[in-house]
Structure 1
């Protein structure tokens, strides 16, 4: 039997008009826990029926903006409640991802553009994540198994209660919208662990056929390269300790930059199992628990790691044998994998297609089209490309975060990293109630020997070498796979043979702060650089992005108008104001100097002709250096910076007079490079280029940022102007457009016009946004066991475009209005928008 009912509470002090106040809701929940239940009778009396107790039971309280606070008596039921609540908001997205991991998209959706669904299905069949999950499921800790089974049951109950024809979204009524199993859910979690590795290589895996094999319908070379190079996911994360917080207790800023659409959206929830779990935060769609957030004792956030999650291997093939490769002094044979996928035809019928795929002892063979013949990136008669994945056997991902969610001290939190080692691809910044802070890049990382690393480092510096070419074209490491010295090294203390052991991973404990903004581990705190680690974890003593430097400025400056004020000790309001201040480093370093150079000048040159720069210079002189909605001059600066190369912004180049200095990584490069003694001033020419670029997009130079930078949301195509920047200029509030990390969902994405300046993101439509600041959380531990926190989920809690919660938080974000995080029971109970739902099965 199953049981479900709901009621709504609007803060009434007693039961009336058929509404149940929260106190009675919890009393009812207690009754459910022990005696079974039936629908509430008139007057609030509950008629009991004698029957076996349910397997799962949970109370879902949703507060304003649709945030679910879920309470349950055990881990199976908390998974049940979270799975049900997630399905209410994002059933289509998760169901589509399960379909993808099963390798059945083509069966239901047809070939897809460029046969993309066929390629994806073959790749996922080769990776065989369901089989990996099947083998791993019984090895999971009992609470993890319980949560997985409960989560799947909750999702399935929502589908049964609602009916496929009534589920809102792109999956409505689709035959592939069906119940899932706990093992399928675990398979999807393995896939999430592959975000920085196999997920980037799906096209290359599914397209890999021996020379002369049947065409696979792969992407054109330029598009294939673009997808492999793109990696938009980024973040800012701070953990502030006792010496830098006003209260002397720990504080946290979580500012992940994630897609606003597709499967990589974050989703917010609060989970309580009395005596076992009380955690609040955000997670990826379909992942149980909380990935970043806080409990009563520990708070943490993550940023995407700059390290490497896989290594490619170029193999020399045996002449005349395209599936045999040389390895040292021996010949090895690739392993054959005959695979078949079903493909829906335009007339609705289904046919099967079979191919044979190949793996080496490293992993799957890849094929990446390039414009240049003879390179070892596409399978040919002489070479094949394969790869080894650090997360393909990471079946600890779910267990890692469940244990983190339950940690009752920072020491217990840290021990999870040492023992479970399930972190796939993120840095972690954490703090505790006492004001201790901790940083770790515990991401799964290949472990190469010291000689192999030394040789690789030299090769990467040589653009003519194989690793040099691969890094330039693909932005990943490719080694000589026929040389055994390039094998990963097995060492005690690692989760799996060949990974860097936990003891050798970058870690730092401080009392002031730790942070990361997607550069490597090196400057988690500039006062104590982390050095001497494998560069596969990230580069050391290298130029930092303007965004990383801006974060460091916020955390170190002590001034009346500084982020933490003249006392250098943060309050919660100061943290909130800082992250949405839209300051940017490049304007703070250069704007007055640029204005001084262009003032009084009327002309620059672009593409061999004069361009009037008078208005552009005047606008910059009036601009306050912020990327706010009403900022006039911001787009001129953005295009001016967009005229310079990344190397100039990072290291100095043609922009800065003082180049990067590894002994002063936060303050260098700095100072505008002076004008030449003779000839045209290149700065004026860059400003002329900015003017021409904006004119090419038909954008007025004096347009405020919010008119040009926007997102279109919902069925009504509502346009929201957005504050923030693309990050190149050094703003921490990132707003940009991305494709690589949300491109596997069948959901329809935001589209934009023809790109005009790839560096700035300007298109014929303006600055179209679908990626950036997402779950923004500012919190502090407070006296007497309390927690104070404010948050924004910029794109809203639900994917249901008809729901008010789809855009309500976007409106708050535009106004820089935070919402209070409701964590204590009495806060939740008095929320004016509270609804309560009891679900049981």
Structure 2
């Protein structure tokens, strides 16, 4: 798409906020009466779109205007996974208790009160009129698309016909949900802590004790790898991108794939968060991009000091302030099927809501409040739509400066002209150096240290020194302005694997930024080190770059799923040297034969492929060490972290008996699980799709593999969890059935710009549809298992040539003009 073709869209985006002639009105109901494969809706429809489904269910949506384009995208999405969006809208409406009762440990009650206390609907109603016309048109069209699909009986998932499913939604519902999505790496992790926070009656928490949250629940879970290459290292001379978000395979954080087009005006391909217009990770004909969750801070916690016996007052700069209070009432489904109600008064300081945070509670001795950098981020949709529209890397970069709506991710991008760029543009609290220095002092001991060890910043809520400071040019007061955020442009590569910005390219370290972006002088994760080694080898003309020293698409796909384990590369040979000839080892009074385990490790290729034998022995061995052991010298490594060699340290197996103790423990655990030591990874690592068990390659964090595969729950939906056997060892997710996977590599994309334009290959590991009887329910999961990449169909000739092409028109939104 040329800049001239984009001009009408940009004019619309930046037009005055008064509605344009063709902008939809506030009513977004879709009232089409009939459904069919050819057309839905009526001749009076405001929105009209064409949907083409190619192999694996990828939706290619074409329309003549933004409202219709997002109408079509929403319709196709709702067909595949609409129940998950319905669930989330019930959540942000604070109606879970109304439909499902108080929930286990009052979880629904706390969720409902928390979302009321966060005022997500009031914020959405306040901010929607301030959004650009393009965004308003798109969001309203999206709501109408959901409504029409539901009216046509086409909602994907297990909720069809259930009373709780919203039969009509509007733009305010969606914007409230987008505010909630923006809180994913901050307030959303605290929902139960917000909803259960009540003033103390004494030194103990209320009786019965509430269902508490932990502020660090998401730390170490949210993750991804992102690589962007410039012309120095690519065979085509254009940019290349590898996107590999590590996200849940269950719940509302699944990604969904689409290709969107307004002829002669706009075109983009990629995946998005469920229920959100546009594309989150993907490409157009000028720029490709991906994201990884930032290591920075999206919130700060404040320790509140109250006068004795006055728990709803607090000290601030030598004065006593009253906390703000607000009563809320919700409907609650009773055991007998009737509706009751419950009213609670919720409390906040000027920093933000009060918390009942595990294990610290709200007592007379300790009270906590917090401030969130994303609670006033209403620009998420505009941010991504304008990224989708960018016609050059310069324009793409400018979006990050002008809109500043990225909520919690780093961005890696490459352009058709061979430039690669990294930025952590996430909203970050702007603390003074005095406040930072005071935190460093406080974090050396006591309660502040306890939270600092969980990577949480606890500040003094009674001292204005610890307030966020205004920075000219920031999106909101108290945030660091985009011009002062970490970024780097290169012609070789940039990358991120969830550590801080520091070594986005190890040849050009980024320094001098606030520690609230993450630290720039600490050990990198094993996965970061694996990523860095792979990319430095490519940039040096070796590794996966092949004989010509230049990376092509075949080589990039091979690198993306090469499944090497960095910890094994460092330590496997030394462990084998240590265990060879030992035979029997005594552990806690038990004699354990470790000879077979040692022999299997010696023969293992250090990969985590389906046919890898020895991989599970290594997993259980390395999984016996605590997390801190990977950061410095100690029980695992003899040589500690060295800031002068951050990608090479720590290294060398530590002396002592701990290594063989861990090997014996690994043998015992696998024996307890009934798993032979010589089982291949594919025999014991799997995911469940309906009645099928599908083997899965990849590994865990301790193994230092780019293709992360674990069991973890990061979800807020109420869909049933996939059944799983009892877990025997949490660090490796070992269960009586082996290693069941539901989290990790989700959408994986490898693409390049060449003379023909963008070309790429991808896999959506959990597949496109939530309908078990759909052919798109497990097809890509089986392909992922076998590393069978599929093309991303961008060019029209490839789309029409697809042997499984299905085409239909959709329409709706009658009466909204």
User: For this structure pair, what is the TM-score category when the shorter chain's length is used for normalisation?
Assistant: over 0.9
Q: Specify the SS of the correspondent of 1:134.
A: helix
Aligned: 1:765 with 2:737: yes
Of 366, 387, 390, 1:407 maps to 390
Aligned: 1:467 with 2:448: yes
Q: Specify the SS of the correspondent of 1:414.
A: helix
- 2:415 is matched with 432
1:109-128 map, 5 Å: 109-128=100-119
- 2:143 is matched with 152
- 1:804 is matched with 775
Q: Return the alpha-carbon distance in structure 2 between the equivalents of residues 59 and 218 of structure 1.
A: 53
Aligned: 1:569 with 2:541: no
1:247-326 map, 5 Å: 247-326=236-315
Q: Return the alpha-carbon distance in structure 2 between the equivalents of residues 168 and 688 of structure 1.
A: 45
Q: Return the alpha-carbon distance in structure 2 between the equivalents of residues 169 and 255 of structure 1.
A: 28
Per-residue CA distance 1:228-277 (angstroms, 9 max, x = gap): 36551110000011001111110000000000010000011000012332
Q: Specify the SS of the correspondent of 2:499.
A: coil
Q: Specify the SS of the correspondent of 2:288.
A: strand
Q: Return the alpha-carbon distance in structure 2 between the equivalents of residues 405 and 4 of structure 1.
A: 33
- 1:29 is matched with none
| Change over 3 Å in CA distance of 1:541–1:602 after alignment to 2 | same
Q: Specify the SS of the correspondent of 1:275.
A: coil
Q: Return the alpha-carbon distance in structure 2 between the equivalents of residues 267 and 194 of structure 1.
A: 20
| Change over 3 Å in CA distance of 1:215–1:349 after alignment to 2 | farther
- 2:430 is matched with 447
Q: Return the alpha-carbon distance in structure 1 between the equivalents of residues 455 and 160 of structure 2.
A: 35
Q: Specify the SS of the correspondent of 1:540.
A: coil
| Change over 3 Å in CA distance of 1:682–1:335 after alignment to 2 | closer
* Contact 1:119 1:218 (C-alpha < 8 Å) held by counterparts: no
Q: Return the alpha-carbon distance in structure 1 between the equivalents of residues 740 and 242 of structure 2.
A: 26
TM-score, structure 2 length as denominator? 0.92
* Contact 1:115 1:217 (C-alpha < 8 Å) held by counterparts: no
Aligned: 1:733 with 2:702: no
- 2:16 is matched with none
Number of equivalent positions: 779
Per-residue CA distance 1:576-629 (angstroms, 9 max, x = gap): 011111111111222222222222221223223321100000111111111111
> Unaligned stretches of 5+ in structure 1?
9-36, 40-50, 371-376
Aligned: 1:839 with 2:810: yes
* Contact 1:114 1:217 (C-alpha < 8 Å) held by counterparts: no
Aligned: 1:139 with 2:144: no
Q: Return the alpha-carbon distance in structure 2 between the equivalents of residues 368 and 116 of structure 1.
A: 14
Q: Return the alpha-carbon distance in structure 2 between the equivalents of residues 399 and 556 of structure 1.
A: 35
Q: Return the alpha-carbon distance in structure 2 between the equivalents of residues 750 and 5 of structure 1.
A: 32
* Contact 2:387 2:396 (C-alpha < 8 Å) held by counterparts: yes
TM-fit CA distance, 1:568: 3.5
Q: Specify the SS of the correspondent of 2:555.
A: helix
TM-fit CA distance, 1:526: 0.1
1:49-64 map, 5 Å: 54-64=45-55
Q: Return the alpha-carbon distance in structure 1 between the equivalents of residues 754 and 125 of structure 2.
A: 44
Q: Return the alpha-carbon distance in structure 2 between the equivalents of residues 792 and 822 of structure 1.
A: 12
Q: Specify the SS of the correspondent of 1:311.
A: strand
Aligned: 1:479 with 2:479: no
Q: Return the alpha-carbon distance in structure 1 between the equivalents of residues 94 and 577 of structure 2.
A: 60
- 2:627 is matched with 646
Aligned: 1:75 with 2:66: yes
Q: Return the alpha-carbon distance in structure 2 between the equivalents of residues 299 and 561 of structure 1.
A: 24
TM-fit CA distance, 1:641: 0.6
Q: Return the alpha-carbon distance in structure 2 between the equivalents of residues 403 and 560 of structure 1.
A: 35
- 1:708 is matched with 684
TM-fit CA distance, 1:564: 1.8
Of 816, 823, 828, 2:787 maps to 816
Per-residue CA distance 1:702-737 (angstroms, 9 max, x = gap): 1111122111122x2x11121100121111111101
Q: Provide the alpha-carbon RMSD of the alignment.
A: 2.0
Q: Return the alpha-carbon distance in structure 2 between the equivalents of residues 227 and 417 of structure 1.
A: 27
| Change over 3 Å in CA distance of 1:359–1:38 after alignment to 2 | closer
TM-fit CA distance, 1:566: 4.6
TM-fit CA distance, 1:72: 0.5
| Change over 3 Å in CA distance of 1:582–1:172 after alignment to 2 | farther
Of 775, 789, 804, 2:760 maps to 789
Per-residue CA distance 1:487-534 (angstroms, 9 max, x = gap): 000121110000111111100000000000001100100001111111
Q: Return the alpha-carbon distance in structure 1 between the equivalents of residues 320 and 192 of structure 2.
A: 28
| Change over 3 Å in CA distance of 1:172–1:768 after alignment to 2 | farther
Q: Return the alpha-carbon distance in structure 1 between the equivalents of residues 711 and 571 of structure 2.
A: 26
Aligned: 1:543 with 2:543: no
Q: Specify the SS of the correspondent of 1:162.
A: coil
Q: Specify the SS of the correspondent of 1:809.
A: helix
TM-score, structure 1 length as denominator? 0.90
Of 163, 166, 170, 1:177 maps to 166
Q: Return the alpha-carbon distance in structure 2 between the equivalents of residues 633 and 426 of structure 1.
A: 35
Q: Specify the SS of the correspondent of 1:651.
A: coil
Q: Return the alpha-carbon distance in structure 1 between the equivalents of residues 779 and 145 of structure 2.
A: 26
Per-residue CA distance 1:785-809 (angstroms, 9 max, x = gap): x211000000001111221111000
Q: Return the alpha-carbon distance in structure 2 between the equivalents of residues 419 and 413 of structure 1.
A: 10
Of 701, 712, 720, 2:694 maps to 720
Q: Specify the SS of the correspondent of 1:456.
A: helix
* Contact 1:4 1:839 (C-alpha < 8 Å) held by counterparts: no
